[in-house]
Amino acid sequence: MARIKEAVKWGILSTAKIGVEKVIPAMLNGEHTIIHAIASRNLKRAEETADLLQIPAAYGSYEELLRDPEIEAVYIPLPNHLHFEWIEKSVRAGKHVLCEKPLVLTSDMVEKLRELERETGKKIGEGFMVLHQKRWDRVREIVQSGSLGKFVTAVSIFSYYLDDKENIRNIPEYGGGGIYDIGCYPTVISRYVLGEEPVRAAAYLQKDPDLGIDRLSSVVLEFPSGPVSFTVSTQMVPFQIFQFFGTEKMIEVQIPFNTPHFRSMSIRVNSGNIYESTKIVESFSPENHYTRQGDAFSRAILYDEPFAGSLDNAEKNLKVLEAIFTSAREGGWITV
């Protein structure tokens, strides 16, 4: 374990799957991150998870964890509709907060979070792990440098198959649905890579007639540099890709979102020969974006470094998602 310079003591609100399987094990390897406690609505579940992950303290309610004076920051992987409530309770209890994406459900809630930051002096960040990958920094450099020629367009697919009625993603009142769960990713990445905000959005959206959540969406975002289009689905064969096209070359980013940390990843290029598949141009040694994210937020607390998942970024991303929902409802282009 890489240990430990100056470090922040963290608590975790809930035994969510993403926390237990991915984020906590990754944060345990952080340079500036100590996981001190975990809380669950069920004490036994908290204790079992603490044992499993070797976390020193376990609590049977989120409130108890927030009363622990040793904890400086909390990570919140609760269902989307509970994010705002527990961010507010956490900062009022004197904790900094890293909360899972989507940070909240509407852009006007971000303004309230900004007021809470000002009032409490605590930091609030959004867990968009993809913003902590070296590979995306490099893609951004390549696209913005003009080495593909003039940027023309980008396309992305993000899909999985999940029809379990009990899953939080399939419950509308929990902030379920494909746009909140995965449409936020091609949105945040296209904004990051192009370094621009989309001017307007047009969207097709199909709801599951029984579940009531959006299960398939195809979206066009018009950026000043050109359009980006993506399809996301929660009931399709699992697949992920992002491709950026210039006038001379295209680059392809495979497994762009749930990027594995246990093997090298690459950027692939095609220079215009349609009979050849894309070739690796750059490789990246394995890295864990959740470890990097935890450390980045710890450094934001310790040294006041800027954090990529900022409130400004969350607000801009949510404004795009809102334009997508409005376009799907009313038809046509919606100004972002």
Ligand X SMILES: NC(=O)c1ccc[n+]([C@@H]2O[C@H](COP(=O)([O-])OP(=O)(O)OC[C@H]3O[C@@H](n4cnc5c(N)ncnc54)[C@H](OP(=O)(O)O)[C@@H]3O)[C@@H](O)[C@H]2O)c1
Among the listed residues 77, 125, 176, 246, the single contact to ligand X using CB under 6 A: 77
Closest separation in Å from C-beta 276 to ligand X: 33
**Does residue 105 belong to the site contacting ligand X (CB under 6 A)?**
no
- Beta strand pairing call for 151-161 and 226-233: parallel
Decide: is 15 part of the binding site for ligand X (CB under 6 A): yes
183 is a site residue for ligand X (CB under 6 A)? no
Does 78 bind ligand X (CB under 6 A)? Our answer is yes
User: Of 314, 316, 289, 277, which is closest to residue 97 (Cα–Cα)?
Assistant: 314
Among 2, 5, 6, 17, binds ligand X (CB under 6 A): 17
> In this complex, which beta carbon is closest to ligand X, that of residue 129 or of residue 203?
129
Residue choice 55, 104, 113, 129 for contact with ligand X (CB under 6 A): 129
* By the rule CB under 6 A, 109 interacts with ligand X: no
Draw the binding track, 21-60, toward ligand X (x: CB under 6 A; -: no contact). -------------------xxx--x---------------
Residue 44, exposed/middle/buried by CB under 10 A (0-12, 13-18, 19+)?
exposed
294 token code pair:
């935890």
Q: Name the segment binding ligand X (CB under 6 A); options: 71-79, 222-230, 261-269, 270-278.
A: 71-79
- Nearby residues of 143 by Cβ (< 8 Å), 6 or more positions away: 151, 193, 194, 244, 246, 251
Interaction mask 160-179, ligand X, x per CB under 6 A = --------x-----------
Are residues 250 and 162 in contact, defined by beta-carbon separation less than 8 angstroms?
A: no
Sole binder of ligand X in the list 10, 11, 12, 16 (CB under 6 A):
16
- At its nearest, how many Å lie between ligand X and the CB of residue 267? 21
What is the smallest separation between the CB atom of 281 and ligand X, expressed in angstroms?
27
β-pairing, 235-246 vs 250-254, is: antiparallel
Give, as ranges, the residues between 197 and 216 that touch ligand X (CB under 6 A).
none
| Closest distance of CB 104 from ligand X, Å | 10
Among 127, 178, 256, 309, binds ligand X (CB under 6 A): 127
Q: Which of 7, 9, 18, 270 binds ligand X (CB under 6 A)?
A: 18
Q: What angle do CA 39, 45, 51 make, to 5 degrees?
A: 85
Q: Which stretch binds ligand X (CB under 6 A): 73-81, 229-237, 294-302, 316-324?
A: 73-81
CA dist 223 → 129, 271, 335 (Å): 23, 24, 11
Q: In angstroms, what is the minimal distance from the CB of 62 to ligand X?
A: 7
Q: Which residues bind ligand X (CB under 6 A)?
A: 14-18, 40-42, 45, 77-80, 82, 100-101, 127, 129, 168, 181
